[in-house]
Structure 1
Amino acid sequence: MATSVLRIGIAGCGQAARIHVDRLLDQPDLEIVGCADSHRESAEKLAGRIAEKSSKPPAVFSDYRELLELPLDALAVFTPHLFHYRLTMDALQAGCHVFVEKPLSTNSQEAADIVSLARGRQRKVGVGHQYRLRPSLIEARKRLAADAIGPLRLVTAVMAQPWLAKQQGQGAESSWRFDPKIAGGGLLSDAGDHLIDALLWTSGRAAHEVFAVQSKLPTGLDVVTAATIRLAGDAPATLALSGVSRGSLFELTFFGERGRIRATDVVFEIDDGEGAAARQVDLPAAGESIDGNFLAALRGEAPLSCPADEALDTVRLSEAIARSAAAGQVVQVV
């Protein structure tokens, strides 16, 4: 980087931004130089929060394009999904690296455009798929790559949470998550994006085709999605998302010819066919945050945990699931 202190701008100053900013402020040699939100009050509140921990308060804007006129090394995008594409493209055009909260974009063509522009401008784009940093999923990916359970024959991926109940008492800043008329709203493209990415990244396989069904409210909001996916190597996978559960579950199970691996967001369990019962494996404490990883990548100290070209595969599969459910047909993942 040109300077030892990384200069970051924040676009979108709601709940997600507050979570990420708290982690960013724990990082050394970092200055958050500006905050932008179409609701200026949100930008002012976040700037005040930053000023409490920083010797230099950030500038405040209601238009992110004004923020991009500042000398920035990177822009962090925490807006609703619908706006990820335009902000990321404009930031790349302005010469910035970009961290964008998942998903990379709301359709695969936009996501491909981002990947192409980032390569052309030689800029890094990191995507907020922080489940890739969970020790349980890291261990599952490592064991699968080492053929610990033999040829993979089936994968099941499940996410259940009281997502629909979150509508109660939601403020305006998060209401878009539950509005099917706004691109990006809905369980599949919101919380479900984490499970889809975890399925592809942990298995190390691309998705080729999918058949899916959805249960929706009269408003059109998706609350349950079920899909059968053909992965590379003709390994079938089933994916189930429920936003009407009383409790929460995030679980992937891999069935091989010699054994089984089960990974939740916090637990890793393996039956490796050696005659013993399935056993839990002690895991190390969680390491870096997704924000810390992005900054380390900018400094050349580590690769991006989730670069844009890998997040593109997640967008493609999510889009194919939605298209299949709408058409009632098998859809190719392209």
Structure 2
Amino acid sequence: MADSLLRIGIAGCGQAARIHVERLLKAADVQIVGCVDALRESADALAGTIAGKGGARPAVFDDFRSLLDLRPDAVAIFTPHLGHYRQAMDALQADIHVFIEKPLSTNTQEAADVVNLARGRKLKVGVGHQYRLRPSLVEARKRLAADAVGPLRLVTAALAEPWLARQQERGGESSWRFDPKLAGGGLLADAGDHLIDALLWTTGRTPLEVFAVQSRLPSGLDVVTAATIRLQDDVPATVALSGVSRGSLFELNFFGERGRIHATDSLLEIDQGDGSPARRVELPEPSESIDANFLAALRGLGPLCCSAEDALETVRLSEAVARSAATGQVVQLV
């Protein structure tokens, strides 16, 4: 497959799909052969966009199995969260590789099913945790592994977005993200999944237990989540997610015995704790997109940035946070 044409199918043709398709169309030897969406007009619109950019017009469907009948090399899934599991399993059972926009699934058992089926069939499943490719987080992970600030004693992670305001303004095609019956968990399952994955990936530590609380709308939708997590080696971590902020924030702070590492999605600072100003680290430009990474992995040119097996721990922790918030109890993960 290293030098051959890669035939890709697209499932879910909304905003996320359009962003990823733009990147896929820039890659050599890639053809998008089909688009499927429960709203056929959305699939038809994306197919028209692809044709307008010089590609062959993909086939259009409103049924996922019809897309699989085209026998693409891989399918990229951008449907609402609760649809990820069934579509991934159907594709894997048809011996087709899969890319899934995060989250991998909305519960641990389904995520484990995907991992086991992919492993058994020797197929690749990439998950859209593209924050793992952000130079700031890559560098933070390296420095933590090198013990740059001494033994890790505390991690704080925060994400804030004007999420509720966007819901009220837009609704429309993104409304499923805000409906707990459709999306499978509101802010925690959507943008919060990036923060939780970044926490686990940068520290390289397994979560052991969690206690969480949530502030919810009358519909049951979470708008604020706060959690305390005990990581491997008894490192405490706090996670705070807010969907009612006026601005956006994504940051992690790693407190060691000899200083602190402060990371955002685009910045890295080192504070040595000696009274001198924090030092900003020069970072390279991002060298790879999550889509280019998936294509390279299909061609055998490198590992997946985030495989389904990698993402399983993120699903497990997200589910535990939601369960703790719902029950008011500490949830053990081991």
Specify the TM-score bucket, using the shorter chain as the normaliser: over 0.9
Partner of 2:251: 251
Query: What's the counterpart of residue 112 of structure 2?
Result: 112
Q: Specify the alignment match of 2:218 in structure 1.
A: 218
Matched residue, 2:328: 328
TM-score (norm. length: structure 2)? 0.98
Does the C-alpha gap of structure 1 residues 87 and 49 become closer, same or farther in structure 2, counting only changes over 3 Å? same
- Provide the residue aligned with 1:199 in structure 2: 199
CA distance in 2, matches of 1:15, 1:125: 21
Distance 1:179 1:229 in 2: 26
Structure that is richer in helix per residue = 2
State how 1:1-334 maps to structure 2 within 5 Å.
1=1, 4-272=4-272, 276-333=276-333
CA deviations over 1:79-133 (Å, ceiling 9, x no partner): 0000000000000011111000000001000000000000000000000011111
Q: Is the 8 A contact 1:149 1:273 kept in 2?
A: no
TM-score where L is the length of structure 1? 0.98
Q: Flag structure 1 segments of 5+ consecutive residues without an equivalent.
A: none
Q: Hey, what's the Cα distance between the residues in 2 that align with 1:238 and 1:55?
A: 46
Name the amino acid aligned to 1:310: D
Following TM superposition, by how much is the alpha carbon of 1:173 offset from its aligned partner in structure 2, in angstroms?
Answer: 2.0
| Equivalent pairs, count | 334
Is the Cα contact below 8 Å between 1:320 and 1:333 reproduced in 2? yes
Distance across 1 between alignment mates of 2:54 and 2:203:
41
Residues in 1 aligned to 2:183 and 2:265: alpha-carbon distance in whole angstroms: 28
Q: CA deviation at 1:169?
A: 3.2
Q: In structure 1, what is the Cα distance between the partners aligned to 2:293 and 2:48?
A: 25
Q: Shift in Å at residue 273 of structure 1?
A: 5.2
For residues 201 and 74 of structure 2, what CA distance do their matches in structure 1 show? 25
Greater shift in the superposed pair: 198-207 or 267-276: 267-276
In structure 1, how many angstroms separate the alpha carbons of the residues matched to 2:244 and 2:184? Answer: 19
CA apart distance, 1:181: 2.2
Q: Deviations over 1:207-242 (max 9, x none)?
A: 110000000111111000000000000000000000
* Conserved 8 A contact 2:216-2:224: yes
Give 2:75's aligned amino acid. Answer: L
Per the alignment, in what secondary structure is the counterpart of residue 187 of structure 1? Answer: helix
User: Residues of 1 paired with 2:154 and 2:107: CA distance?
Assistant: 28
Return the letter of the residue paired with 1:44.
Answer: D
Residues 54-80 of structure 1: per-residue CA shift (max 9 Å, x gap): 342111111010010113110000000
* AA in 2 matched with 1:32: I
1:186·1:221 contact (CA, 8 Å) conserved in 2?
A: yes
Q: Distance in 2 between matches of 1:128 and 1:122?
A: 20
Distance in 1 (alpha carbons) for counterparts of 2:210 and 2:185: 21
For the 8 Å contact 1:82–1:106, the answer to whether it is kept is yes
Aligned residues of 1:225 and 1:240 also touching (Cα < 8 A): yes
Structure 1 runs of 4+ aligned residues shifted over 6 Å read none
Among the aligned pairs, what percent are the same residue? 75
- 1:188 partner SS: helix
SS in 1 for 2:244: coil
| Unaligned 5+ runs, structure 2 | none
Q: 1:274 deviation in Å?
A: 6.7
Aligned mates of 2:121, 2:284 — CA distance in 1: 37
C-alpha displacement of 1:286? 1.1
Q: Deviations over 1:176-215 (max 9, x none)?
A: 1111222424000011000000000011111110000000
Q: Go from structure 1 to structure 2 and tell me whether the alpha carbon gap of 1:9 and 1:3 turns closer, same or farther (over 3 Å shift).
A: farther
Counterpart Cα distance in 1 of 2:314 and 2:93: 24
CA–CA distance in structure 2, aligned partners of residues 202 and 224 of structure 1: 23
Deviation per CA, 1:149-198, whole angstroms, max 9, x where unpaired?
Answer: 11100000000110111112324321111112224240000110000000
